[in-house]
């Protein structure tokens, strides 16, 4: 993983509203950000360009996997 790289886990379950089962570990100091469906929906109404960018990024990840 490179410096500043952003990884998403559980994105399919996120959009399907299904439980996620991934276990994630880190080999050093890292930041963990959690995006809830409520937060994404609020972002879609308050910051549509940002929500759209996040949705496009997650779609790219899903299609590559």
pLDDT tens, residue by residue, 36-60: 889 999 999 999 999 999 889 888 8
Residues ≥6 apart with Cβ < 8 Å to 43 = 50, 51, 54
pTM summary value:
0.65
Per-residue pLDDT at 42: 96
Alpha helices in the chain (DSSP H): 11-16, 37-46, 48-64
pLDDT tens digits along 21-41: 777 787 888 887 888 889 999
């Amino acid at each position: 993983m490179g410096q500043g790289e952003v990884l998403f886990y559980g994105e399919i379950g996120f959009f399907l509203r299904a439980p996620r089962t991934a276990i994630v570990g880190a080999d050093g100091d890292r930041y963990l950000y959690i995006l809830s469906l409520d937060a994404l929906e609020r972002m879609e109404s308050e910051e549509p360009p940002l929500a759209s960018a996040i949705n496009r990024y997650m779609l790219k990840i899903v299609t590559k996997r």
